[in-house]
Amino acid sequence: MNNFGLNHIASQAIYKDLISGKMINETEYIDGELVKSTKFRELVNDIDKYRELYTLLGFTLKGIDGVAYFITRPDKADELNDTAANAQTILLILSRGIGKQGIAPGILFDEKSGISTKLVDEMGAETEAAQILKACGMKQPLSQPLNNTLLERGLMFKNLDDRYVLSSAGQAMFNRLFSID
């Protein structure tokens, strides 16, 4: 235990994820199963202590709809966050792409389904999507910025079939983007 009364090992694991720009999601995909995250549970069990700790470190600990947490810097709060803008752009392209294919958006929420890298890249190669990606400074194939923006930051995960699925944080962002309640 440290001066904050937090589990030393758990707080280090949480810090490692948060400082690298990752989300702490309510659930994690481990060995083919969606399970409750021990990091998330640790974080919410001592949320006030973690908020105080991250404030002392110069960050703000923020939650997304009670299903994920991330940190920001208070001095950067008013700046446009390129990562968030890119995540929204990719989610928009994915949503429109699967809609054009006649696939329900729920495929992105189902850990047993998800979408393949091939489908992601096909959607990104469509004329309109390619123009949007280029205008936003994102590279092709679409799976590359998707991996860098959504997968690496904990907004998506890959299931055992190597298909992309939205995490708790990704689902919350998708719902906010499309005002789904």
CATH code at 8-76 = 1.10.10
173 close to 45: Cβ distance less than 8 angstroms: no
Continuous H helices in 28-126: 38-45, 47-56, 82-100, 117-125
Q: Which tens digits make up the pLDDT trace of 151-173?
A: 999 999 999 999 999 999 999 99
- Residue 1's pLDDT is what? 43
Segment holding 130, helix H or strand E? helix 127-135
User: What are the extents of the domains in the chain?
Assistant: 8-76, 82-177
Q: CB within 8 A of 72, min separation 6: which ones?
A: 59, 60, 62, 81
Tell if the pTM clears 0.85, that is, is over it. Answer: yes
